[in-house]
Structure 1
Amino acid sequence: MHQLEWIGIIRHGESVGNVAAATAEEKGSDLIDIAERDADVALSDAGEKQAEAVGDWLAALPEDERPHVVIVSPYVRAWQTAEIALKSLDIPVLRDERLRDRELGVLDLHTGHGIRSKFPEESERRQRVGKFYYRPPGGESWADVLLRIRSLLRDVAEDHAEQRVLFFAHDAVVSLFRYILEDLDEEELMTSAKKSPIANCSISSWRWSDEGWASELFNDVKHLEQDASAHPTAEEGVDAPAV
């Protein structure tokens, strides 16, 4: 069976969508004020600084610890993060749509308050089904995203066997990488997601051994804390309303 040597994954930097979502929730608004479609939401100024800090972290790695290849979600905020972080490094970069953010369907751009107000039956159904399996109309559940991530990891292991691979993606995707690589169950995943929201430009990584995948870092932001202009942020994505 093909296997990778090392897996790293970085959540995109703070986006203008993260900022707008936080503002809308604070104001108790029903809708998040974003003109662009989710795939086109760009980084905020703070997000660009966070991506630069990731670049400093990567550049400081020893040559034999740097990733052989980088695979990125095609969403603008993830691609911009990778582009900034990798600008001084000569590492091949690939796009893969399976890393895209979770799709919310009819709930897209609604705050938690807006969903409870406009879609009370969906709010009740989500409470009954649970966050892991709840699929909004026209959207995806966490379990749906998990299926495409499993497919991605199988293909990447075959195409890049015994290599170090770094991914740039989104908060739910980071959590689901951990679910797969650390063999978590639903309760463990949901507890972790609630206790430790995935920070923008945080780093998570695992290394393969004969015993399986061993965690090295999870949701680590020390590289951001060292730079005053790249302070950590952990706003939920615009795809993650508090239903």
Structure 2
Amino acid sequence: MELTNHRSTQSSAQGGHATRAATLPLSLTVVRHGQSTANAAFEAAEAVGALDVGIGCRDADLRLTALGRSQAEALGRWIASRGGGPVPQSLWVSPYLRAQETAEAVLAAFDDAGLPLPDVRTDERLRDRELGVLEMLTSAAIELHHPGEAARRRLLGELRWRPPGGESCADVALRLRSLLRDLYEEEPDRRVLLVAHDAVVLMLRHIIDGLDEAELIEVAGTGAVGNTSVTRWSRSGEGRLQLDCYATTPHLE
């Protein structure tokens, strides 16, 4: 079940000039959801080169594991304790169930701490990258059943490669540019938290930090965006969003 929107914030995307003129949020924080059933299944399958992860539901319907719920609860307590600075005033969430469950754990921690709940919005543009016909396939299964796509992926690179029926990372970036235009217009001078997915975190780095393809590959090569990891930008004196931290997990230490 999707989180209830506490504030009506729907509006059409504005042009580039309106985006540049808008006042930025005071801070923008994005966290990846807690460990999902697919995260755990893929980790086990990839470790032994298995072809099947045993997942039969839609990607959008994947739930958190027990560990994922524990991670989300720890994240909520850390944010509520102001571990990352002042608490967010707005919460934008992917519609996918694992992100919704993570956001619910954060809101529960706010409530337990007696903090005012942030305004909540579920936004489709924060969904995970869609992999089309390759959805829920392990690397070994892709190599075996779709060798042409595996070769095309290596040739084009992750930013440009679009699986049949799915999205390239550049496609994800395109919808996030639209989301950021709305967010900048609707959240001036506010602290905003996004709960989403690893592809969303990387593409926000691409957009906000102006990373080119080579720089993006370098960032991705430093390691995966961990479950409930925190990436945050703060508004600088020059009126830009400046990266404070990337994929950190102080609440899990």
8 A contact 1:24–1:33 mirrored in 2: no
**Partner Cα separation in structure 2 for residue 123 and residue 63 of structure 1:** 40
SS of residue paired to 1:195 = coil
Tell me the amino acid that sits aligned with residue 188 of structure 2.
A
Deviation at residue 31 of structure 1 after TM alignment: 2.4
Q: How does 1:180-199 map to 2 (within 5 A)?
A: 180-199=207-226
Choose the corresponding residue for 2:250, options 216, 222, 226: 222
Choose the corresponding residue for 2:102, options 55, 59, 81: 81
**Partner Cα separation in structure 2 for residue 126 and residue 13 of structure 1:** 28
Cα deviations by residue, 1:22-71 (Å, 9 ceiling, x for unpaired) = 11112322222112110000000000000011111111118981111000
8 A contact 2:73–2:109 mirrored in 1: no
Aligned-pair Cα RMSD in Å: 1.4
In structure 1, what is the equivalent of residue 197 of structure 2? 170
Tell me the amino acid that sits aligned with residue 63 of structure 2.
A
210-219 vs 3-12, greater mean Cα deviation: 210-219
Q: What's the TM-score, normalizing by structure 2?
A: 0.86
Tell me the amino acid that sits aligned with residue 224 of structure 1.
L
Percent of paired sites with the same residue: 44
**Partner Cα separation in structure 2 for residue 41 and residue 187 of structure 1:** 32
**Partner Cα separation in structure 1 for residue 194 and residue 85 of structure 2:** 18
8 A contact 1:133–1:141 mirrored in 2: yes
Choose the corresponding residue for 1:27, options 48, 57, 65: 48
Tell me the amino acid that sits aligned with residue 216 of structure 1.
D
Tell me the amino acid that sits aligned with residue 164 of structure 1.
R
**Partner Cα separation in structure 2 for residue 63 and residue 19 of structure 1:** 27
**Partner Cα separation in structure 1 for residue 175 and residue 149 of structure 2:** 24
**Partner Cα separation in structure 1 for residue 248 and residue 99 of structure 2:** 17
**Partner Cα separation in structure 2 for residue 181 and residue 57 of structure 1:** 25
8 A contact 2:132–2:164 mirrored in 1: yes
Matched, 1:59 2:80: yes
SS of residue paired to 1:74 = coil
128-137 vs 30-39, greater mean Cα deviation: 30-39
In structure 2, what is the equivalent of residue 157 of structure 1? 184
Moved over 2 A (4+): none
Matched, 1:47 2:68: yes
In structure 1, what is the equivalent of residue 230 of structure 2? 203
SS of residue paired to 1:198 = coil
Aligned pairs, number: 225
**Partner Cα separation in structure 2 for residue 64 and residue 163 of structure 1:** 13
**Partner Cα separation in structure 2 for residue 200 and residue 41 of structure 1:** 14
Matched, 1:104 2:131: yes
Tell me the amino acid that sits aligned with residue 177 of structure 1.
L
**Partner Cα separation in structure 1 for residue 102 and residue 95 of structure 2:** 11
**Partner Cα separation in structure 1 for residue 156 and residue 84 of structure 2:** 47
Matched, 1:144 2:171: yes
The gaps in structure 1 that reach 5 residues or longer are: 226-243
- TM-aligned CA distance change 1:122 to 1:62, over 3 Å: closer
**Partner Cα separation in structure 2 for residue 95 and residue 190 of structure 1:** 29
SS of residue paired to 1:86 = helix
8 A contact 2:36–2:65 mirrored in 1: yes
Tell me the amino acid that sits aligned with residue 191 of structure 2.
R
**Partner Cα separation in structure 1 for residue 51 and residue 175 of structure 2:** 30
